[in-house]
């Protein structure tokens, strides 16, 4: 129960990594605000509530400052404050640079970069009021290395890594820690869409899986375990860094 007494906001909680993180935070004792633009966020909250967790659901557009403000306001009004803000919501458009249109770029940038910045802006006053806390950002190994079919997505994930470092430097004196989690491939609908885009999806899946020393993709729960650690007091002296959750992918050259 490493998060007992803490209040956490998890964005992108309608499925995938976000749902797994909301579940893990609740299991660790946190009161959780699940946020997503998708209706399925209500089902996530209902599941947690049925298990005895204190939880709230917020339907909000996380590409806007207003949507992020609503998420934080719900945490403060329902549960008395905010200790953890996990900016996890993301969009993906698959395509090489010349095939990425302005609308594709803007859709991704709005949630993946600008929305994360708005989330931090919204969360900081509430965290400061509690005497400190943690901001977690779901980045990606694609913010460190490249993927030919995801140049825009990778650029934005690199951007949030830089953002996290700036926030950590600025707000460390207020006991506000800021870190990113950088997963490799995770078994989520977003990753399945990527492989469906390939000319031979099954061959591409086998080839990529074989590049992982652990010979499997992450489960969302693997990422949630890392998030729970960074959100907890066990990580009290960790800020401004990336926790890479990639099954050893970046540990080798070929």
Sign of CA dihedral 188, 193, 196, 199: negative
Are 56 and 30 contacting, i.e. CB atoms less than 8 angstroms apart?
no
Residues 6 or more apart whose Cβ sits within 8 Å of residue 65: 118, 121, 122
Active site residue 237: no
Q: Phi and psi of 248, rounded to 5°?
A: 90, 5
Helices (H) and strands (E) in the chain, counts: 9, 7
**Per-state percent for the chain, helix, strand, coil, to nearest 5:** 50, 15, 35
DSSP labels for 161-222? HHHHHHHHHHHGGGTEEEEEEEE--BSSHHHHHHHHTSSSHHHHHHHHHTTSTTSSPBPHHH
Query: Catalytic: which of 153, 194, 212, 254?
Result: 153
Are 186 and 144 contacting, i.e. CB atoms less than 8 angstroms apart?
no
**Active site residue ranges:** 153
């Amino acid at each position: 129960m490493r998060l007992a007494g803490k209040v956490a906001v998890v964005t992108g909680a309608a499925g995938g990594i976000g749902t797994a993180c909301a579940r893990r935070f609740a299991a660790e004792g946190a009161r959780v605000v699940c946020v997503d633009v998708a209706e399925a966020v209500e089902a996530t909250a209902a599941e947690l509530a049925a298990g005895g967790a204190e939880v709230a659901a917020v339907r909000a557009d996380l590409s806007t400052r207003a949507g992020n403000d609503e998420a934080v306001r719900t945490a403060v009004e329902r549960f008395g404050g905010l200790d953890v803000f996990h900016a996890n919501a993301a969009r993906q458009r698959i395509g090489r640079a010349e095939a990425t249109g302005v609308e594709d770029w803007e859709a991704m940038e709005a949630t993946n970069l600008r929305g994360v910045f708005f989330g931090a802006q919204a969360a900081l006053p509430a965290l400061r009021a509690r005497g400190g806390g943690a901001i977690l950002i779901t980045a990606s190994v694609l913010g460190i290395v490249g993927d030919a079919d995801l140049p825009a997505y990778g650029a934005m994930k690199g951007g949030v890594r830089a953002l996290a470092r700036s926030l950590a430097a600025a707000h460390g004196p207020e006991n506000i820690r800021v870190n990113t989690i950088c997963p490799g491939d995770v078994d989520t609908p977003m990753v399945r869409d990527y492989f469906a885009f390939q000319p031979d999806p099954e061959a591409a899946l086998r080839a990529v899986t074989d590049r992982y020393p652990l010979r499997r993709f992450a489960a969302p729960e693997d990422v949630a375990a890392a998030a729970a650690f960074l959100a907890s007091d066990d990580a009290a002296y960790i800020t401004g860094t990336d926790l890479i959750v990639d099954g050893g992918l970046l540990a080798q050259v070929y």
